Chain A
Amino acid sequence: MAGNSFIYVTYIKTTPKDLWTALISPEFTQKYWYGIRQESEWKPGAEWKMIFPDGRIADAGEVVECDPPRRLVLKWQNQFKPELKEEGYSRCVFEIEPQEDVTKLTITHTIDRENSKFIQAVSQGWPSILSNLKSLLETGKTIMPMRR
C-alpha cells in the first residue's frame, strides 16, 4: 500500500457539480490537462480513454464506479510507454465532498505492486494538473504550461 499509492487533496472554491463536470468533460479536461482529452460514456463498465492532441492514446481502462457528483473510480493503464503499460491496471479514485464554502477533491491513485514506475510517473503530473484545475475553476484561467 505504502510505496504504491499517492493521495492528492485540494480544496477548490466551486460546487461539487461544477467540479464533476470539470473532471469529465472533454472540453474542460483539455484546458487543464495540457491538451489531453478523455472519452467515456461514464457509467460502470464503460470504456475510458485519455487521448493526446495528436490522436495517440495516452491511457485507457474502464469506469468502475460512477456516482455524480461524489465518486468516480477508474481502472487505469498507461498505453504509450511499454515499461509502464506492463505494470497493468492501476486504480484511481476521485472523491468529491462539499465543505463550508469550498469543495474538497481527493484523488487516490494505487497500483498493486511495490516501487511502481507508473505511480512514480503519475506523481510527477498530478500536482500541476490539480493546480491548473483549481485555477481554472476559481479564475477561469490555467496557471501556466507544463513545468519541467
Chain B
Amino acid sequence: MDDDAVFRALADKSRRLLLDRLHRRNGQTLSELCEGLEMTRQAVTKHLAILEDANLVAPLRQGREKLHFINPVPINEIADRWIDKFDRPRLGALSDLKKALEEKSRK
C-alpha cells in the first residue's frame, strides 16, 4: 500500500471529518455517516471510495448493509515512519539538555 495514497486521502478536510466520525463511532452505514453533514450523499460516497482505496476505511457487508470501519493500520505505519523516527532523537536531545542543565546547577 503506498504512502502517497494515504497522504492524499488525508489531505482533505471532508475526508478527515469522515475519519473523525468513524473514530467516534465505528461501523457506520453511508446514511449514518451522511447525517448532519453539509456534504451531499454523492460527495460522501466519493470521499469514502478514496478512503477505501487508501486502506483507511474497511467496508464490511452485513446482510444488505455496508458498514464502514476505520482501519488504523496505515496511520500507524505513517506514525512509525514519519513521527516516531523524528520524534525520538528530539526527545532524546531534550532529556540530554535537561540532564546537562541540572548537573550544571548542582555544581
Contact = CB atoms under 8 A, between A and B. Distances in A.
Interface of A: 1-3, 5-11, 106, 108, 123, 126-128, 130-131, 134, 143-144, 147
Contacts of B72: 8, 123, 126-127
Nearest to B62: A1
A3 B55 contact: no
Interface of B: 1, 25-28, 55, 58, 60, 62, 67, 69, 71-73, 75-77, 79-80, 84
B84 A106 contact: no
Contacts of A123: 72
Contacts of A131: 73, 76-77, 80
Contacts, number: 57
Nearest to A134: B77
Given A2-B28, A7-B60, A106-B58, A144 B80 contact: yes
A10 B72 CA distance: 10
Contact of B73 (A3, A5, A130): A130
A45 B76 CA distance: 34
Contact of A11 (B25, B55, B80): B55
Nearest to A147: B84
B80 A143 contact: yes
Given A2-B26, A10-B1, A128 B84 contact: no
